[in-house]
Amino acid sequence: MRRYFGRKLLIYGLTFFVAVTINWLIPRFMPGDPVQSLIARANIAQPEVVEAMRVRYEGLFGFDMPIWQQYFNFWGALLDGDLGVSIWLFPTPVADVITRAVPYTLGLLIPAILLSWVAGNRFGAFAARRKWLDNTALPIGYVLTATPYMWLAILLAWALGIIAGIFPVAGAYSYAMQPGWSWEFIGSLLQHWFLPFASLFLVAFGGWAIGMRNMIIYELEADYVNYLRALGAPGRLIRRYAFRNAILPQITGLALQLGVLVAGALVTEIVFSYPGLGNLILQAIQNQDFFLLQGTFLFIVMGVLIANFVIDIVYVLVDPRTRAGMGGAS
């Protein structure tokens, strides 16, 4: 058990290390003087912002120092929790900007991931054993999973927001309202939350349903199923076993899909101007706010790594074999 998690943690640690290094390395590949060109591209009028940027960039890059020193300084600042100051929302620290946006992204992502996973797996298993349903549901599932997240988001916003007028299509709550703990405000939050959630949910749902359907079909060909059939076991028992065995790779699949789902949430937020991390990224790119972009990047990587680790733990809890194997080994 310790060995298994030790190995996982090593990989996640290395990944984080790689991510930070990428973050440090990429600006160094820019042609010319990166500080000058970054400032020029930011296109900012306020002199104090320009000055702050210049000081910050030079401190950050520290081109006069040896390269290893530059690298260690970068880590030092990072470990202090210093992600720099946002250019777009000058002079708010990047960490603060991110902290404000994170709840919105998590509020979209976590329900969308969990619900789509549960519902998709159930539906996929259900469809796999009914010919007519399989033949109709399968193409729909493939179309859903092939749909770019942002396009489905646009379609939903257009159909249910603009044309039908049922849901608002921008922001996280009505601009006419003051944030607070009133029912009215919570209602507004939910109303604004629904469409981005629904588009994330639908695309992911299609993927899980198809994955489960394919897994079940393979499981039903497995030797243990043939044996049960040869012993005349009823279909109910066989399907229960097949589902149980097919769900395990789907948990692994969840870990593998995290990056894709996060990316989906980012572009969906952009469509709905939802004030989460996706929106931050868009603003950072449009305002050439590289501190914000890099901070958001590191934050997302960390979130994905933590989520991966949680899924690892869940997997061990769910798959009896890993537990048995580890019990025997330790």
Partner 1 sequence: MSLTVTDLRVYYRTLRGDVKALDGVTFTVADGEIMGLAGESGSGKSTLGKSLIRLDGRMRHVGGTVELDGDELPIGDDARMDAFRFHRVSVIPQYSMSALNPTRKIGKMVAELMASRGVRLEPAELERRLDLVGLSREVLDRYPMELSGGMKQRVVMVISTLLNPSLLIADEVTSALDVSSQKAVAGTLLQLRDAGLVTSMIVVTHDISLVYQIADTIMVMYAGRLAEKAPAGVLVTEPRHPYTKMLISALPEVGVRYEEDSRLSGIPGSPPPLLDPPGGCRFRDRCPIAFDRCAEQPPFVEIGPGHSVACWKAGE
Partner 2 sequence: MTADAPKAPEAPEPPEATATPETTPEPAATPGTPGAPDAAAVAASTPVREALHFALRNGKLIAGLIVVVVLLIAAVFGPMAFDHGPNEYVGPPAASPSGDYWMGTTMFGQDVFAQFLYGLRATFLVGVLGGGLAAIIGMVVGFVAGYRGGWVDEILNMLTNIVLVLPALVVLMIANAYLGVRSVGLQALFIGLTSWPWAARAIRAQTFSLRARDFVDLARLSGMRTPKIIFREIAPNMSSYLFMTFILLFGGAILVGASLDFIGLGPTEGVSLGLMLNNAARWSALQLGLWWWFIPPGAGITAIVGALYVMNVGLDEVFNPKLREM
Binder among 79, 165, 236, 330 for partner 1 (CB under 8 A): 236
* 237/314 with CB nearer partner 1: 237
* 60/215 with CB nearer partner 2: 215
* 21/226 with CB nearer partner 1: 226
Whether 257 and 10 have beta carbons less than 8 Å apart is answered as no
* 203/216 with CB nearer partner 1: 216
Q: Report the partner that residue 214 touches, choosing among partner 1, partner 2, none (CB closer than 5 to 8 A by kind).
A: partner 2
Q: Report the partner that residue 47 touches, choosing among partner 2, partner 1, none (CB closer than 5 to 8 A by kind).
A: none
For residue 48, the tally of other CB atoms under 10 A from its CB is 10
Site string for partner 1, 193-232 (x = CB under 8 A): -----------------------------xxx-xxxxxxx
Q: Report the partner that residue 14 touches, choosing among partner 1, partner 2, none (CB closer than 5 to 8 A by kind).
A: partner 2
CB of 325 to partner 1, least distance (A): 7
Q: Report the partner that residue 236 touches, choosing among partner 2, partner 1, none (CB closer than 5 to 8 A by kind).
A: partner 1
User: Per CB under 8 A, does 252 bind partner 1?
Assistant: no
* 94/305 with CB nearer partner 2: 305
| Binding to partner 1, residues 311-330 (CB under 8 A) | 319-321, 324-325, 328
Nearest-CA neighbor of 251 among 174, 183, 314, 186? Answer: 314
Task: Tell me the number of residues near partner 1 by CB under 8 A.
Answer: 24
CB of 326 to partner 1, least distance (A): 12
Alpha helices in the chain (DSSP H): 2-25, 34-42, 47-61, 67-79, 94-128, 131-146, 149-156, 183-219, 223-230, 235-271, 277-286, 290-318, 320-329
Contacts of 39 (CB under 8 A, 6+ apart): 50, 53, 54, 57
Nearest-CA neighbor of 279 among 46, 53, 102, 57? Answer: 102
Within 13 Å and on the Cβ side, how many CA atoms surround 85? 16
Spatial separation of the C-alpha atoms in residues 255 and 251, rounded to whole Å: 7
Spatial separation of the C-alpha atoms in residues 87 and 69, rounded to whole Å: 26
User: Per CB under 8 A, does 91 bind partner 1?
Assistant: no
CB of 229 to partner 1, least distance (A): 6
For residue 110, the tally of other CB atoms under 10 A from its CB is 12
- Put residue 167 in one of left, alpha, beta given phi > 0 → left and psi -120 to 50 → alpha: beta
Interaction site with partner 1 (CB under 8 A)? 222-224, 226-234, 236-237, 241, 244-245, 248, 319-321, 324-325, 328
